[in-house]
A = this chain, B = another copy of it.
């Protein structure tokens, strides 16, 4: 049952990141296939990096056709309905925040299942969460949001740490994962909404 639950939230995260990637691509005026490529890259780069670093090769996102299908669906919907999505406030960041929480808990859980220790599992969770957005931003030539947005990596760290702590305390995996994803999303969303942020360095010229 836990494994079906994990697959379900992995697919939801994939859909959310694919929309964030497709929206970023549509804003750049990419053609349909460029939008689809960016949707797929944003949706799967974090998981591909995680699986490659775990030695879980080939990465599941490349061999299970459903990741491609979900990304393509999200990309097509965004391409032909981008006005609807743009009506949301800050859609790239909103869908990114949903995917961030889901992927951070999935990544940490998969790392634990592969026998990685607590520090490594938290870091692989953070990497799974932030990887897709970093690749998306670099491909459209923007400084990745994780480097400059309010409490972005902190939120991923929170979600992954909740999963790892829950595992150490032998709590049931499903509610802990839900709690981690919700906590991550909530922190990120509040930070966006209310502009919470860490102190920033003064840029030099």
Neighbour of A34 across the interface among B28, B34, B38, B147, CB < 8 A? B147
Residues A57 and B68 in contact, CB atoms below 8 Å apart: no
Residues A148 and B30 in contact, CB atoms below 8 Å apart: yes
Neighbour of A140 across the interface among B27, B34, B143, CB < 8 A? B143
Chain B CB within 8 A of A59 CB: yes
Neighbour of A63 across the interface among B28, B86, B119, CB < 8 A? B119
Chain B CB within 8 A of A53 CB: yes
Residues A198 and B26 in contact, CB atoms below 8 Å apart: no
Could you tell me the distance between the alpha carbons of A118 and B76 in the complex, rounded to whole angstroms? Answer: 23
Main secondary structure on A side of the interface with B: helix
Chain B CB within 8 A of A54 CB: yes
Could you tell me the distance between the alpha carbons of A201 and B75 in the complex, rounded to whole angstroms? Answer: 12
CB distance from A50 to the nearest CB of B (A): 9
Residues A111 and B58 in contact, CB atoms below 8 Å apart: yes
Query: When each residue 28-63 of chain A gets 1 if its CB lies under 8 Å from chain B and 0 otherwise, what string results?
Result: 111111111110000000001000111101110011
- For residue A86, which residues in chain B have a CB less than 8 angstroms away from its CB? 204
Residues A116 and B63 in contact, CB atoms below 8 Å apart: yes
Chain B CB within 8 A of A15 CB: no
- For residue A179, which residues in chain B have a CB less than 8 angstroms away from its CB? none
- For residue A59, which residues in chain B have a CB less than 8 angstroms away from its CB? 53
Chain B CB within 8 A of A175 CB: no
Q: Looking at A53, A120, A147, which has the most chain B CB atoms within 10 Å of its CB? A: A147
- For residue A88, which residues in chain B have a CB less than 8 angstroms away from its CB? none
- For residue A147, which residues in chain B have a CB less than 8 angstroms away from its CB? 25, 28, 30, 34, 37-38, 139-140
Residues A200 and B30 in contact, CB atoms below 8 Å apart: yes
Chain B CB within 8 A of A1 CB: no
Chain B CB within 8 A of A190 CB: no
For the complex with contacts A29-B200, A31-B201, A33-B153, 8 further pairs of A-B residues with Cβ separation under 8 Å are: A28-B201, A30-B147, A31-B197, A34-B153, A37-B147, A58-B116, A138-B138, A141-B143
